[in-house]
Amino acid sequence: MGSRILSTSSGTNREAFTPLDWTLFISIGLIWGSSFLLMDIGLEAFHPGLITWMRVGLGAAVLSLLPRARRRIEPYDRPRLIALSFVWVAIPFTLFPIAQQYINSAVAGMLNGAMPIFAAVIATLLLRKTPHGAVLIGLILGFVGVAAISLSSGAEGSSEALGVALVLLATLCYGLAVNIAAPITQQYGSLAVNAQMLAYATIWTAPFGVTGLLQSSFAWNSFLAILVAGAVGTGLAFVIMGSLVSRVGSTRSSFITYMIPVVALVLGVVFRNDHVTAASLIGVVLVIVGALLASRREVERLPEKLVEGA
């Protein structure tokens, strides 16, 4: 559960990736894919509320240093910005560390890969247009994949089922954010919107963060993990992603979405010995293929696209 970003360009660049483009692309995938592992390490000493507050606050602090992020947002657009600060940040960032108390980082990352599926469904509902063809097939495959991951993980007990439900709710929030954020990011740019949205979310998550601080112990590995997740994954990554979008366009940049669950899966298994069932592995493949099919039309049609990490 790394961070997220909205591009501000339709992105029609079709030239081959340069070495720098590939470096930026892989860096973002690794940064956002590793956020699930970093939260898992953070939970060894920190309460989920403190993890959320640190991630949001550190991300806001990093972006506030950038001149482009200080652009003034008009008062009439602030209600949308505040709504996004809840749906895009405060709620999902709170849910993920709570969920990872019950499920491992690999499962959380795999379920987060369903974000494009939820985004496509919400877009379909908003447009009141029945999906068909590749989009419909993608939605069906995606939901079958989500069901496979959820059932195989939730079957281990009620606490695991709760963790799965919380991750799916967080991912649903991201899917909603994709569809309501476009107008304001088009007008002001993603950096300005993200910086101010994170600043608001820091306020909203403060009570949970203070409560979590009082219930946390201290360990350097947990502190450093959340420091990286906040400053790099929720802050610096936005800048890197913005550079990639400007170089290769938003359409091709959005394919990072499909790299994140794979990175989370590999890191969880290698570094945390996370147990992953065969059904879950099949499920994540179906989710990625389904997301590719279901979101392709939206990527081509919409001028902006959200790429999510955790």
Nearest to 275 by CA among 110, 94, 72: 110
55 located within any domain: yes
Give backbone dihedrals phi and psi of 155, rounded to 5 degrees, phi first: -70, -15
39 located within any domain: yes
10 located within any domain: no
Query: CA-to-CA distance for 204 and 209, rounded, in angstroms?
Result: 9
151 located within any domain: yes
β-bridge mates for residue 307, sequence order? 5
In Å, how far from its chain's centre is CA 228?
A: 16
Condensed to tens digits (0 to 9), the pLDDT of residues 3-41 reads 444 433 444 455 778 889 889 889 999 999 999 999 999
Residue 199 tokens, joined: 């600043």
Condensed to tens digits (0 to 9), the pLDDT of residues 278-291 reads 999 999 999 999 88
Condensed to tens digits (0 to 9), the pLDDT of residues 96-128 reads 999 999 999 999 999 998 888 888 888 888 877
Residue 144 banded pLDDT, cuts 50, 70, 90? very high
Condensed to tens digits (0 to 9), the pLDDT of residues 258-279 reads 899 999 999 999 999 998 889 9
- Domain encompassing residue 271: 18-304
112 located within any domain: yes
Residue written as tokens 């892989």? 26
Q: Which 3 state secondary structure label does DSSP give 4?
A: strand
User: Does residue 309 contact residue 96 with C-beta atoms inside 8 Å?
Assistant: no
Residue 2 banded pLDDT, cuts 50, 70, 90? very low
12 located within any domain: no
In the chain, the number of structural domains is: 1
165 located within any domain: yes
78 located within any domain: yes
Entry pTM: 0.87
Query: CA-to-CA distance for 300 and 20, rounded, in angstroms?
Result: 24
